[in-house]
Structure 1
Amino acid sequence: MAILLLLVLPKKVLADYDLTKMNVKAVVNSDGSLSMTRQIDYDFDDEANGVYYTQNLNSDQKVTSQSVQIKDLATGKTVTPKLNNSADSGNVYHFTKSSNSYKFKVYHHVDEGKIRVIYRYKITKAITTYDDASELNFKIIGDGWDQEISKVTASVVFQKPNLSFLKGWVHTNTSGNLEVNKEKGQVTATVAKLPENTFLEMHILFPNSLTAENTKKKSGEIMAKTVGQEKQLAKETAAKQKQKKRLEKIGLVVLSLLPLLGLPIFFKAKNQGAVVRSKKEIGHNYEIPPYSPAVAQSLVTGDDPDAKALAGELALKAGHKEITIEPLNKGKDFRYTKTDKYQGNVKLINQLFKGAGDGTTFTSKGLKNYGKKGKLEKKVKAWQEVCEDQIKKQFVDPNLRKKKDSLEVAAVLLFGAEIILTILGFFTYDYYTMSLLLVLLWEVLAALPVIIRIKNFSVLTEKGKEAIEQAMGFKNMLDDIGQFKLRDVGELTLWEEIMPYAVAFGLAKKVLKQMKVEFASEIDASPIAYYYYGNSYGMFATSFESSFSRALADSSGSSGSFSATSASSGGFGGGSGGGAF
């Protein structure tokens, strides 16, 4: 069935194009017909098989004397497709009639670029002659276009100048310009942009002498009736415009007042939990945090623990002699092995030993291969959730957390709705769109203090505040290494206990560099120094972080680094339109 569908369905259903210009000229003939020249400029962004145009008429009207011409606007080359209703390729066109619609379907392959298609044809019985004047009421551009049309010009031209009278009106759902020139015998309407599915209708009264051979006649006078009709339409249009302006003004007022609803949210976000001091106020903390490197990193960053944090956990276990870390290939690879002192208190590390190794040992290479099995990502998220739950239970006030969540939801709903409504206004407003820009700016400015206050809303208990400041102070101390003597803090054995946290904070290289200066001889004799200070990559943490990030990317199927986280007067031609295929 799938193969059958592929054979039956066309390769391309719709072409991607813009209508950059349309110039329509209707010459009024003495027999009451119109000689049409419809020039349409297409700008194709991709391959297309051709274009089409449909002209809708009344039941007593016909299209005759049709022809098509195509011009490549880049090269200037012109081709004239031949009428051939049986061919569906090459420079040919189909011309068919269905009910009261006449369709041109032009087969002209385009890779991309700009072309101009010119349709020429005659519409019979377009004019109605009355006792006092002749009338043309014609949707010269129908509402069957699904694309916006730029630079629209529509002209009705009479074959004699210096007319005794000429009256013209245009109906369309957009702004434009109308010129009625009886000296030249011409009525011209121009529109900068005609919205999709919008008609442009021209209603014109002119002397009967211009269509003396017209056989479509009606008794009675049309002038006074039409002028009255158009005045009524103009009056109704003016009333609609006035009402539209009034509604737009009301909308502007409402949209301008909506941001004030954010004031209750702003004031409710005032009462909060314990507030963490600034980095400068906290200063240095020389005591090792009473929680794991992963938790310490999360407390400082506010994010989920990452590969550095997990490397810190491994370093901590190495320091406690729960595992050994053996460099391979001159420090380019590492083997991690359990000892009889191993405690399986970090589930993710247990899973790495089992999934990336044999349950007792694993290597960096095995870790990379484990990631390709696609199971690592879920296990990492579970580990991160454990750390998050630990922080929430120990350091976060649950009532304040609920309050902050509700404030965030309220702010998103309020300001999101405001901005969406304002953006929708740009598509529906006709008169005060520039004012909408000011309203949008006001909404953004009004939202900022609320968003900032909610962002800074603390959900911490006093214990949580102290824990974060302790972790931040400890990181500050490690970051300022070199500004004080390490021995004033403690001997090498203490710094070996500190190192897992330096690894988690991404400061291991900086700390190790200073340790090698001040504890050179002790490091050479230390049984765990090579865990941190390999010959090739500097330390095992760098190798592990790289291997783990690669494994996680392979597991998630993506690339990248480890991440925590209008009115009508009844003219014929309605529904006429076209497009491309």
Structure 2
Amino acid sequence: MKQHKCGIVVIVFLLALVWWQPSIHADGEYSINRLKENVQIHPDGSATVHYQIRYEFADDMHGVYVTQATDKGVDFAEWTQASINGKRQGKYHGGSAGMQIVNSNNAKQLRIYYPIAADDTLNAQWTYKLNNVVTRYHDVAEINWQIIGGQWAVPLKNVDITVKLPKGKQQHFAYWTHSLNTAKFTGDAKAGVYHYTAASVAANTPVELHTYFDESTVPQVPKTAGNGQAKIIAQEEQIAARLQRAKQLRLWIQVGLVSLMLIGAFLIYRAKRFYAHAKAKAGLVITGINNYELPSENAPAVVLAQLNGKHFSLDKAFSATIMDLLARHYYRLTDQTNWSQKHFELTLIKNDGLTSFEKTVTLILFGNTEIGAKVDTRTFKKTDSRVVKRLSVYKEKFNKDIENAALPVWLRDERGNVKFKLAYLLGLFSLIVLVGSQIAMLVGSPYVEFYPWLGVVLLVASLGILFGVLDYRKMGTIYTPTGWSEAQAWKNFGQMLREVGQFDLKKVPDVTLWDRYLAYAVVLNAADNVAKALQQYHADDANYTDDFIPTYLAYNLFSVSLMSDMTGLDSANAPKESAGFGVSGGSGGFGGGSGGGAF
């Protein structure tokens, strides 16, 4: 059930990625919910700019501002008016209200100081004049202007811009919009008006108007040598050609990336065939899960190494060996709690028949293998204790001893696993690259189109990732032809241990074996289930004494994290950003309303 829920979450996430479009958010302090800008061009080539901006605030602030660039020959003439909520503002002379111009790097920041409280809604207006906005040639006049500059700190919503020429009835009239935003300017030659509306414009996203019109419209502007119409048209054709090339390149990139789906699907198919062939070669026969007999007499740590190869968990092996020696009565755990502190003592009560790695664990815990040796479990948590120091000395030997014990019946096919996992994971990686890169391109550039066939490809690839991951987890490891049956038997045994809570433990033959089964449960990822079942089974048994601690209670002392806790190891893995890209075809206009915000 848990896997099904996980699968549903993954598929919803992948589908959301496929169809997701970027949304607009304010920065958490304020938002601009309406921006209206009226620009009146005058016969002398100057322009009067009038802003009406509605702010909504989440925090207390000191005022609002508009930044006006003055690059490429454009001069700031004067700031004629400012108002807040219809109330006209005077010059700033200190205090909390007034209008102030701050000069900064070819720009003027037009500040309106005004006390703002959280949850306020504020309507601010600016009116100012710019010189040298228009270039006049012998045949046409030109405006090349970023009406919205690239320094607005938050997204702009409900944008409405009007640019009006001194007169209408234009004979020579053309215009272009350059922006990553998809909205475009419209123009009316008869009225001599340009209009731009957009539901939203992302933060730091310029909107540029490039236009030519009759040169007689601005008779007071000195003429620039030569004709301008052909030059402007050629410039725009170059921009359009560059954008078209970029668009075509992205289409080919999209098509190329789609081929990754075929490569990925082929690699996954070949990996699955390889897995099926290895399994068939082993002649595997699936037996019932609820088989209460151990598949072999190998110790839990050896089984762990046989199933997982050289990369087995040393933590699990250490914990499982202690639990196994407790269950086989080599160790005894007693409660030594006194009036001041609760603690336990581990005693070595038998030493014959210990394997090499069991002797190593015994040396780590007790310092020797003599019967009667004792260790206080409180020392496991002291970094300067002898047991912790011995662990650092004998840790590598313990690992090597287990490997040597597992070698005669190594179950994993290491070379086969490398081939299988490399092919399968490369296939999944190809699908993930396909989906991720396509989404990055769609989100990062408005010049990448979303074709219906691409939506189908992304959906299929996303489903392929989901079911590929689930299928990979289900298949797991490739074992040798002779070892697969035993490996499967251990897997079935582990599944039985995990399902122990679903049947009556008292009906299981030879319940006394369950203390030892708990050690195997540690290496088969079922220890919590078995410990809980044993606790319920013994719930009514009142025969426990200080000299006998049940194995399931000992599990709390010798859990899988014991070795890491003792050595200060951290077995957690750190998680592992992709970026989109876009091309904006700007024609080099001066920075008009370059930015704005609040302070």
C-alpha displacement of 1:167: 3.5
Residue segments in structure 2 that go unaligned for 5+ positions in a row: 1-26, 368-372, 573-583
Q: Closer, same or farther in 2 for the Cα pair 1:500/1:265, shift >3 Å?
A: closer
Equivalent in 144, 147, 160 of residue 153 of structure 1: 160
C-alpha displacement of 1:34: 1.7
Equivalent in 71, 95, 98 of residue 101 of structure 2: 95
Secondary structure of 2:478 counterpart: coil
Aligned counterparts, 1:62-461, within 5 A: 62-70=76-84, 80=89, 82-83=91-92, 90-91=96-97, 94-97=100-103, 100-104=106-110, 117-127=124-134, 136-145=143-152, 149-157=156-164, 163=169, 167=173, 169-174=175-180, 175-181=182-188, 186-194=193-201, 196-203=204-211, 205=213, 208=216, 215-218=220-223, 225-226=228-229, 228=230, 231-232=233-234, 235-236=237-238, 239-240=241-242, 242-262=244-264, 263-264=266-267, 266-272=269-275, 273-274=278-279, 281-287=288-294, 289-294=296-301, 296=303, 312-328=320-336, 334-339=344-349, 341=351, 345-346=357-358, 351=364, 360-363=374-377, 365-367=378-380, 394-408=410-424, 410-411=426-427, 413-426=429-442, 427-428=444-445, 430-435=447-452, 436-447=454-465, 455=473, 456=475, 458-461=477-480
C-alpha displacement of 1:64: 0.9
Alignment check: 8 A CA contact 1:367 1:551 kept: no
C-alpha displacement of 1:466: 3.5
User: Hey, what's the Cα distance between the residues in 1 that align with 2:87 and 2:402?
Assistant: 72
C-alpha displacement of 1:255: 2.1
Secondary structure of 1:321 counterpart: coil
Determine the structure 1 residue equivalent to 2:578.
none
Q: Which region of structure 1 is more displaced relative to structure 2, 309-318 or 385-394?
A: 385-394
C-alpha displacement of 1:416: 4.1
Q: Residue 510 in 1 paired to residue 556 in 2?
A: no
Q: Closer, same or farther in 2 for the Cα pair 1:572/1:542, shift >3 Å?
A: closer
Paired AA for residue 461 in structure 2: E
C-alpha displacement of 1:191: 3.8
* Cα deviation code 1:191-242 (max 9, x no counterpart): 445453534124253685x76xx642338997xx53x555545655554555
Q: Closer, same or farther in 2 for the Cα pair 1:442/1:109, shift >3 Å?
A: farther
User: Hey, what's the Cα distance between the residues in 1 that align with 2:102 and 2:66?
Assistant: 11
Q: Closer, same or farther in 2 for the Cα pair 1:499/1:102, shift >3 Å?
A: closer
Q: Give the alignment's TM-score, normalised by structure 1.
A: 0.69
Paired AA for residue 254 in structure 1: G
Q: Residue 471 in 1 paired to residue 490 in 2?
A: yes
User: Hey, what's the Cα distance between the residues in 1 that align with 2:308 and 2:58?
Assistant: 46
* Cα deviation code 1:252-281 (max 9, x no counterpart): 322222221231453155224447969764
Q: Closer, same or farther in 2 for the Cα pair 1:93/1:352, shift >3 Å?
A: farther
Alignment check: 8 A CA contact 1:137 1:203 kept: yes
Alignment check: 8 A CA contact 1:152 1:191 kept: yes
* Cα deviation code 1:505-540 (max 9, x no counterpart): 4314535766899xx8xx96x99994327xxxxx42
Paired AA for residue 266 in structure 1: Y
Determine the structure 2 residue equivalent to 1:74.
none
Q: Residue 540 in 1 paired to residue 564 in 2?
A: no
Determine the structure 2 residue equivalent to 1:56.
70
Secondary structure of 2:109 counterpart: strand
C-alpha displacement of 1:117: 4.8
User: Hey, what's the Cα distance between the residues in 2 that align with 1:556 and 1:181?
Assistant: 72
Alignment check: 8 A CA contact 2:66 2:596 kept: yes
Q: Closer, same or farther in 2 for the Cα pair 1:573/1:49, shift >3 Å?
A: same
Equivalent in 42, 46, 51 of residue 38 of structure 1: 51
C-alpha displacement of 1:189: 1.9
Residue segments in structure 1 that go unaligned for 5+ positions in a row: 1-13, 72-76, 534-538, 560-565
Alignment check: 8 A CA contact 1:371 1:550 kept: no
Paired AA for residue 510 in structure 1: A
User: Hey, what's the Cα distance between the residues in 2 that align with 1:285 and 1:370?
Assistant: 40
C-alpha displacement of 1:190: 2.5
Q: Closer, same or farther in 2 for the Cα pair 1:557/1:83, shift >3 Å?
A: farther
Determine the structure 2 residue equivalent to 1:3.
none
Q: Give the alignment's TM-score, normalised by structure 2.
A: 0.67
Alignment check: 8 A CA contact 1:63 1:102 kept: no
C-alpha displacement of 1:324: 1.5
Alignment check: 8 A CA contact 1:165 1:207 kept: no
Over the aligned positions, Cα root-mean-square deviation in angstroms equals: 5.3
* Cα deviation code 1:393-432 (max 9, x no counterpart): 7221232133234325533553343334323321235252
The number of residues matched between the two structures is: 528
User: Hey, what's the Cα distance between the residues in 2 that align with 1:276 and 1:391?
Assistant: 23
Secondary structure of 1:259 counterpart: helix
Paired AA for residue 433 in structure 2: A
Secondary structure of 2:325 counterpart: helix
Q: Closer, same or farther in 2 for the Cα pair 1:425/1:385, shift >3 Å?
A: farther
User: Hey, what's the Cα distance between the residues in 2 that align with 1:308 and 1:409?
Assistant: 27
Alignment check: 8 A CA contact 2:271 2:424 kept: no
Q: Which region of structure 1 is more displaced relative to structure 2, 119-128 or 146-155?
A: 146-155
C-alpha displacement of 1:317: 1.9
User: Hey, what's the Cα distance between the residues in 1 that align with 2:364 and 2:83?
Assistant: 72
Percent identity (aligned)? 19
Paired AA for residue 351 in structure 2: K
* Cα deviation code 1:94-120 (max 9, x no counterpart): 424467543335666768667555432
C-alpha displacement of 1:172: 0.9
C-alpha displacement of 1:122: 0.9
Q: Closer, same or farther in 2 for the Cα pair 1:292/1:46, shift >3 Å?
A: farther
Alignment check: 8 A CA contact 1:133 1:221 kept: no
Alignment check: 8 A CA contact 2:177 2:184 kept: no
Paired AA for residue 154 in structure 1: I
C-alpha displacement of 1:471: 2.8
* Cα deviation code 1:475-496 (max 9, x no counterpart): 566637648855xx4585x666
C-alpha displacement of 1:169: 1.4
Alignment check: 8 A CA contact 1:371 1:554 kept: no
